[in-house]
Amino acid sequence: MALGTRAVSDSQGVQTLLTGARFELMPFESFDEEITHLPDNATIAITTSPQLGIERTVEKTEEAAEMGYDVVPHIAARYVEDREQLEAIAERLKQAGITDIFVPGGDREEPAGEFESAHDLLTVLAETEYSFEEVGITGYPEGHDFIDDETLAESMAQKAPYATYIVTQLCYDPETVLEWVEDIRARGIALPVEIGIPGVMNYQRLMQISQKVGVGDSIKFLRKTTGILGFVKQLVGSRGTYEPDDLIDGLAPYVDDDEYNIRGVHIYTFNQTPDTEKWRHKRLES
């Protein structure tokens, strides 16, 4: 297995991962406060919320870009109605100076319009006059609840020609992530990978978030990984707070390995940026 071949930790790799970390925020009411705790030059990914829709994502993207942040909006395919709306969104993003977008399929049960998948949207976007320097797609180290592994592999192969990088869904086990990267490399997918990791999460805060999103985004993330029960056990074992040290230490030795081509980490903050930033600075200073 991948981790057995290297040292458990690598200080330079830790520095590289955490210095260039990307932060994901949800466009809820707390967004304006949460963003103030991030570095002035931070790269911020903004999700698409089932409750608020794609318009709120675009609005918050415009606001954050105006503040000087490097912003990566999630243009979730199943939230976009048609080509006309896609072009309107792309036009606004270009005017805001956006050069990087992330295109997931989206967790919406029924699509808002003609786009069933990320591939559907990417192919139409490629036909328009709008293009972006960077385009991210989703990777699933632990698979997907409703899509088998073969279908996921076929989907990535279809999307890869339109993308410049991959962002993985949450996974708490670095060995699982690294083995998944080895697998996609063996299938000819050479795109750089942003490893999705959780930020620092307090159990009580996590429950508040899950209630706010109607047992939506946060809980779905957890169900796709270790499951609620396993996650709660981790939290109890760590006095109620999860910190992603094991993930960072496990990934760090592979940062400069061209085979893995790990571009950085994508921190799912769940709009809990102060605790995550405190932890990140502590690791950078250690």
| Nearest one of 24, 22, 44, 7 to 251, comparing CA atoms | 7
Which structural domain, as residue segments, surrounds residue 28?
2-202+241-281
Q: Are 168 and 194 in contact (CB under 8 A)?
A: yes
Q: What is the pLDDT of residue 41?
A: 87
- Is the pLDDT at 29 greater than 90? The verdict is yes
Tally Cβ neighbours within 10 Å of residue 158. 16
Q: What is the pLDDT of residue 143?
A: 75
In a domain, 235, yes or no: no
Q: What is the pLDDT of residue 214?
A: 34
- Is the pLDDT at 171 greater than 50? The verdict is yes
In a domain, 177, yes or no: yes
Angstrom distance (rounded) from CA 286 to CA 155: 41
* Number of domains forming the structure of the chain: 1
Q: Are 25 and 269 in contact (CB under 8 A)?
A: yes
- Is the pLDDT at 53 greater than 80? The verdict is yes
Angstrom distance (rounded) from CA 73 to CA 163: 15
- Residue linked to tokens 């954050």: 64
Region 25-44 average pLDDT: 95
Name the residue with higher pLDDT: 220 or 115.
115
HSE-CB at 114 with a 13 A cutoff on CA atoms is 11
- Is the pLDDT at 207 greater than 70? The verdict is no
Token couple for 19:
């210095």
In a domain, 49, yes or no: yes
Region 159-163 average pLDDT: 97
Q: What is the pLDDT of residue 151?
A: 85
Token couple for 86:
């896609």
Q: Are 54 and 111 in contact (CB under 8 A)?
A: no
Region 17-38 average pLDDT: 95
Q: Among 107-116, 176-185, 205-214, 244-253, name the one with the lowest average pLDDT.
A: 205-214
In a domain, 221, yes or no: no
In a domain, 195, yes or no: yes
Token couple for 22:
């990307």
Q: Among 61-70, 222-231, 233-242, name the one with the lowest average pLDDT.
A: 222-231
In a domain, 54, yes or no: yes
In a domain, 232, yes or no: no
Q: Are 37 and 277 in contact (CB under 8 A)?
A: yes
Angstrom distance (rounded) from CA 48 to CA 26: 7
Region 11-19 average pLDDT: 94
Angstrom distance (rounded) from CA 65 to CA 72: 9
- Return the CA Rg of the chain: 18
Alpha-carbon distances, residue 39 vs 69, 258, 279 (angstroms): 9, 28, 14
- Is the pLDDT at 230 greater than 80? The verdict is no
Provide the angle, in degrees to the nearest 10, between the axes of the packed helices 203-212 and 228-237: 150
Percentages (nearest 5) of helix, strand, coil residues in the chain: 50, 15, 35
- Is the pLDDT at 120 greater than 60? The verdict is yes
Q: What is the pLDDT of residue 147?
A: 78
Region 110-133 average pLDDT: 97
In a domain, 64, yes or no: yes
- Over the range 40-71, which residues count as b (16 or more CB within 10 Å of their CB) and which as e? eebbbbbbbbbebbbebbbebbbbbbeeebbb
Q: Domain holding 251: CATH number?
A: 3.20.20.220
